[in-house]
A and B are shown apart, each in its own frame.
Chain A
Amino acid sequence: MTITNEPGAQVAVPTDLVNVTIDGVEMQVPKGTLVIRAAELIGIEIPRFCDHPLLDPVAACRACLIEVDGMPKPQPACAQMVAEGMNVHTQHSSQVAAEAQAGVMEFLLVNHPLDCPVCDKGGECPLQNQAMSVGRPETRFTEEKRTFPKPINVSAQILLDRERCVSCARCTRFAEQIAGDPMIELLERGAQQQVGTADDEPFDSYFSGNTIQICPVGALTSADYRFRSRPFDLVSVPTTCEHCASGCSLRTDYRRGVVTRRLAWDDPEVNEEWNCDKGRFAFRYQSHGRINAPLVRENGELRVASWPEALATAAGIFEAARGNAGVLVGGRSTVEDAYAYSVMARAVLATDDIDFRVRAMSDEEAGFLAAVVAGSPVTTTYGSLENAPLVLLVDIEPEDESPIVFLRLRKAARGGTRVVTVASHLTTGSEKMNAELVACAPGDEVRALTELSADIRTALAVPGAVIMVGERAAAVPGAFTAVADLAKSTGAALVWVPRRAGERSALDAGALAGLLPGGRPLTDATAREEVARIWGISADRLPQPGRSGRALLENAARGDYAALLIGGVEVDDLRDADLLRAALESETSVVAISTHHNEVTAAADVVFPSGVVTEKSGTFLDWEGRPRPFGQVFHEALTTSDAGVISAIAEVMDATVEGSVTGIRGQIGALGPWRGARTTRTAVAAQPAAAGVRLATWRQLLDLGLMQSDEPHLAATARPTVARMSAATAAANGITEIATLTGPAGAISLPVEITEMVPDVVWVPMNSEGSRIYRDLGLGFGDVVQISAGGRP
């Protein structure tokens, strides 16, 4: 049973209880409880296939038949609600129930192939387990089994063995009820009943992998994992997903040092039992293209070096750069790693020029994050979304940018929550959340928010209402100010939902200029005192507020820093990639700590390898601010974490930076939450919208992201790259089928999909095949773009 327990909230004691007796055990359960759930509470397991606690009952498989006094026929426990005075007999106390269950078990095996040895589910299969425990030792069925031609692709990733299917409809119900992508459905009838898709419409759902996990037989398998191993030789480790800020609990299964698959782990407070396909299938990047050993530049070329040599070289660079260094952390670090960068910058390099944002960013955003988000306790949670009367989305597309938030919002919307999105158009994701659109061209968010209808404003004032703002708002001057003002004036809860898993972690670890760990202002004497004590230095040695964002990059581009310490940063992810490129080409010494080879490591003077999530332990903070700790999968890994590298460099420099996860957690724990005054945000006025066609864009869930590399099956389920614009905009520019977008860096041509949206706006994916906006156009969200008809996509 899925029990939701809100942190801090009092556990609600149900008042509406009914008395029910199961197998002679008298108990009280809340009214409306299903018999199968009530039985679980006293440890009685009733067999089931179609039943799933998060799906509506269907009572199709009939495996859970039980006897209820006063009812002439056996009843399905998965659909039968308890009633006052009900006396239930399960298979343990009723011959009728036991025989009914055994009969269904026998029937299920009639048309099920005996291919357990080659079936991926063999070894972890509910049907196999039940056949072993209650099935007949010998079959009475001697007729021909129904067969189908071997597996068919319901999508590039999902394969279906129709003959193994027991028609429990878990997958189709998941697709319809949870994901809102009813692209698979049961077809045909009788024994020929099978799961299928419409012609030429594959099951390209972002959540399709969950169907494999909930399939009670081996009917659904993934192209990725098919035949790669058997469940019994896998070692399972609970982990946290590193892809986005949703913070899913995962189970990582590996064999002989190689991850073979990842599954969603049950965390009722966060991801329930689901995750997205990116989190499930994109993990091969962990083993490909890795940096294996430290590298040092000699005569202009990088060469492999010993750790002591590389550490000494880096230490030498940093010794010379004390007080004049910049630190870029990247958005994918754990709290512990970001904390080490934070300490390294302030306590060793004596600089406050540090930032973690590798995307569009602004000073307004930094101010907002420091004042509103950093170090704030977990108050608005997934549970709050589910119970919210209204959720207002500003510059965020949850289905693409935080898929589990999307699932929870969809669940909330099905339960009556009103979802309102401030965007250029209603996406399919918005439609699945039954969202209302506050139409707004990119850049006009401030006006849209100030002109919100009285109706929405009133609803926002109802306790429980939530405003969610995405990282894209950083590209719109005044947007964060407007959002914060709106929250203040209505009393609605305000949450910032970043895209990357490490953004909130880095923010709370203080990896932003002007900010010490836990949201402590660098200018606050008490905060400085607290932090300096933990770091073992005197408070005067902490630097004065430095640069972040564009200022930092500009300074770097001028070559004004003596050294740069750069974590996992992909140059093209920056809106101002040219600035960083200039810095890499300048005389500034660069020390890079990275898992993979990239543009930064290619230009660095010293490169240290660091571990991916399977090779280290750590913590991510999800968008709620909830710590999502994870353990090390591969203890024999030869890499160390970023913190470990930093600590080793500091040691050579005769300084102390804690490098172990436990040590850093201890320091963060000792610091405790910040109770003093927070920084105040400075209001930024909106800028008048520029004339012309404006660009709306965000990263789709499945795109050219580096952590999705080497996943051909996953990539094949990505959405096609199209440009969206309204019919009027297309007509005004003479565009019919193909549009060419032109920016300062170049032009791209994409097929056009006419969409009902704000005029004079064109939407394109930000980082998909044929549409890498920063690199190809040199433009970002809200910028004016030239559009014309024609071109070759």
Chain B
Amino acid sequence: MPEMPQVVRGFGVTFNTIFKKVVTEQYPEDSTKYPPKPRFHGRHQLNRWADGLEKCIGCELCAWACPADAIFVEGAENSETERFSPGERYGRVYQINYVRCIFCGLCIEACPTRALTMTNEFELADNNRADLIYEKKDLLAPMLPGMLAPPHPMVPGTTDTDYYAGKITGAVPEQLIEQELLDEEVSEVTS
């Protein structure tokens, strides 16, 4: 029997493959079908307490832990009229440079308030360096139902300790009213 021409044998591989399971993932057209694993180290997120106040206290421990020097934080003091987090201090500036970040997660371990966690989002490509420096506004967790956008006071009658103990379940109307009163006072003083 004469030998089958090489070219036919080659087509045989192709032909056989037609009947095999497709391994190609249609990314990005069909990306939702193939989510990353739940514990995948993706983009960071700055979490909020149930009433919308920020968890970040601007302690910079994440920046200190970062082996790639990708995080820059500047703290500031919550004022009587503008409160962003429970307690005295909040993170005024929060930047993560995703050109440098190696997604090791040490910052997450360092965070004393669980303000910083990682999401599964991995689509962090861009065409310039500047846009890869994520600011606080880019990193903050979205507002969920029951949350009130800071600045606003803590839930009346509670302290920062209650927040840390997980006793806050959501914003109450008094917080909004109080903040409106504070804003009015400020505008009176400044006008």
Contacts and interface: CB of A to CB of B under 8 A. Distances in A.
Does chain A touch chain B in the assembled complex, meaning CB atoms less than 8 Å apart? yes
Contact of A226 (B59, B61, B77): B77
Highest count of chain B CB atoms <10 Å: which of A123, A151, A227: A227
B56 to A, nearest CB: 10
A597 to B, nearest CB: 28
A372 B59 CA distance: 55
B60 A228 contact: no
A117 B57 contact: yes
Interface in B60-119: 60-61, 63-64, 74-77, 87-89, 112-113
A232 B62 CA distance: 12
A227 B112 contact: no
A163 to B, nearest CB: 12
Contacts of B58: 118, 227
Interface string A200-230: 0000000000000000000000000011111
**A contact face: mostly helix, strand, loop, or mixed:** loop
B75 A233 contact: no
Given A226-B77, A227-B77, A230-B59, A117 B64 contact: no
Contact of A233 (B63, B77, B87, B89): B63
Contacts of A117: 57, 59, 61, 112-113
B83 to A, nearest CB: 13
A150 interface: yes
B191 to A, nearest CB: 22
A666 B61 CA distance: 46
A227 B64 contact: no
B157 to A, nearest CB: 15
Contacts of B88: 118, 150-151, 227
Contacts of A226: 77
Contacts of B61: 117
A228 B76 CA distance: 6
A118 B89 contact: yes
A175 B92 CA distance: 35
B59 A118 contact: yes
Contacts of A118: 57-59, 75, 87-89
Interface string B34-71: 00000000000000000000000111110110000000
B89 A229 contact: no
Interface in A323-340: none
Contacts of B74: 228-229
A233 B60 contact: yes
A233 B113 CA distance: 20
Contacts of A230: 59-60, 64, 75
Contacts, number: 37
A792 to B, nearest CB: 26
Contacts of A233: 60, 63-64
Nearest to A118: B89
Contacts of A228: 74-75
A333 B25 CA distance: 70
A227 B89 contact: yes
B76 A227 contact: yes
Nearest to A150: B88
A150 B100 CA distance: 38
A228 B59 CA distance: 10
A118 B60 CA distance: 9
Nearest to B64: A232
A189 B64 CA distance: 39
B135 to A, nearest CB: 16
A75 B114 CA distance: 44
Contacts of B112: 117
Interface string A139-160: 0000000000011000000000
B140 to A, nearest CB: 19
B163 to A, nearest CB: 13
Nearest to B92: A227
A419 B140 CA distance: 63
A227 B56 CA distance: 13
B75 A227 contact: yes
B86 to A, nearest CB: 11
Interface in A92-119: 117-118
A227 B90 CA distance: 9
A231 to B, nearest CB: 10
A230 B58 CA distance: 10
Interface in B108-138: 112-113
A359 to B, nearest CB: 40
Between A117, A122, A229, the greatest number of chain B beta carbons within 10 A of the residue's beta carbon is seen for: A117
Contacts of B77: 226-227
Contacts of A122: 59
Contacts of B89: 118, 227
A232 B60 CA distance: 9
B93 to A, nearest CB: 11
A260 B59 CA distance: 16
A123 B87 CA distance: 20
A310 B112 CA distance: 55
Contacts of A227: 58, 75-77, 88-89
A233 B64 CA distance: 8
B160 to A, nearest CB: 9
B141 to A, nearest CB: 20
A232 B58 CA distance: 14
A416 B116 CA distance: 60
Nearest to A151: B88
B78 to A, nearest CB: 10
A151 B77 CA distance: 12
Nearest to B63: A233
Interface string A116-144: 01100011000000000000000000000
Nearest to B69: A233
A117 B64 CA distance: 11
A101 B113 CA distance: 31
Contacts of A150: 88
A234 to B, nearest CB: 11
A228 B60 CA distance: 11
A150 B87 CA distance: 9
A117 B87 CA distance: 12
B65 to A, nearest CB: 11
A123 B74 CA distance: 15
A598 to B, nearest CB: 30
Contacts of B63: 233
Nearest to A230: B60
A225 to B, nearest CB: 11
A631 B113 CA distance: 40
B59 to A, nearest CB: 3
Nearest to B76: A227
A229 B93 CA distance: 11
Residue of B60, B64, B112 with most chain A CB atoms under a 10 A cut-off: B60
Contacts of B87: 118
6 contacts: A118-B58, A227-B58, A227-B75, A229-B75, A230-B59, A230-B64
Given A117-B113, A227-B58, 13 more contacts: A117-B59, A117-B61, A118-B59, A118-B88, A123-B64, A151-B88, A227-B76, A227-B89, A229-B74, A230-B60, A230-B75, A233-B60, A233-B64
* In the complex, the 7 A-B pairs of residues with the closest C-beta atoms, listed nearest first: A117-B59, A227-B75, A118-B89, A117-B112, A230-B60, A227-B89, A227-B77
